[in-house]
Structure 1
């Protein structure tokens, strides 16, 4: 059995607000830890049929960056949904929502 490790480091200020978020993974051997301004982490608890979430962002994360971050996350979720349940119809509906979201947030390319 193979194991991989992902390490997430969060630096907090004296009010427990994130100053910096960094991650490093075993699959990134020649790369130093990558600094980020935001992260969304979800785990599925099968026993309780519940999602465990950890959502963090730094004070440096701008509103415009957050809009783009959410849009890109939603697009990725639509792709993951398609790959995991192989339902093009519902994944397409989600992609349509992503287009709508981008338009409403005024980030449409």
Structure 2
């Protein structure tokens, strides 16, 4: 069995706020790639709940955070469709993402 790692290195200021983040994905050829935000979700099947870590650097621009969240919503609809085969629900999720983009005034 092969193992691989994805890691995120976070530099914090004195108040424990992320100042700089880099990520590494050995199999993807990514090493110390800068990022301003990350969202990680894992499923705890014992507690039947999602656990999350949402981090962003203090210099992450709000307009980029809005775009980041919009793209996550779009990708969630795609993931939902692949996982369940429910195209109608996935399409509805994508419509919600587009409504979010309009309400958040995201310039695409």
Q: Does 1:103 align with 2:68?
A: no
| CA deviation vs aligned residue, 1:54-91 (integer Å, no higher than 9, x gap) | 00011110110110000001101111011111100100
Runs of 4+ aligned residues of structure 1 deviating over 2 Å after TM superposition are: none
Q: Could you tell me whether the CA contact under 8 Å between 1:99 and 1:108 is conserved in 2? A: no
Unpaired runs of 5+ in structure 1?
Answer: none
Please tell me the root mean square deviation across aligned C-alpha atoms, in Å. 1.0
Q: Tell me the residue number matched to 1:42.
A: 41
Shift of 1:32: 2.7
Q: Does 1:20 align with 2:11?
A: no
Alpha-carbon distance in structure 2 between the residues aligned to 1:108 and 1:58: 22
Alpha-carbon distance in structure 2 between the residues aligned to 1:108 and 1:14: 34
* Count of equivalent residues: 108
Normalized against structure 2, the TM-score is what?
A: 0.95
